[in-house]
Amino acid sequence: RKEVEQDPGPFNVPEGATVAFNCTYSNSASQSFFWYRQDCRKEPKLLMSVYSSGNEDGRFTAQLNRASQYISLLIRDSKLSDSATYLCVSDSWGKLQFGAGTQVVVTP
Partner 1 sequence: ETGVTQTPRHLVMGMTNKKSLKCEQHLGHNAMYWYKQSAKKPLELMFVYNFKEQTENNSVPSRFSPECPNSSHLFLHLHTLQPEDSALYLCASSQADSAGGSYEQYFGPGTRLTVT
Positive or negative, the CA dihedral 54, 75, 71, 88 is negative
How far is Cα 94 from Cα 75, in angstroms, rounded to an integer? 27
- Residue 71 C-beta: closest distance to partner 1, Å: 15
**49 lies in the site for partner 1, by CB under 8 A:** yes
Helix then strand then coil, % of the chain, to nearest 5: 5, 60, 40
Which of 41, 52, 67, 68 is close enough to bind partner 1 by CB under 8 A?
41
- Residue 3 C-beta: closest distance to partner 1, Å: 9
Q: By C-beta, is 5 or 76 nearer to partner 1?
A: 5
3-class SS of residue 22:
strand
**64 lies in the site for partner 1, by CB under 8 A:** no
**101 lies in the site for partner 1, by CB under 8 A:** yes
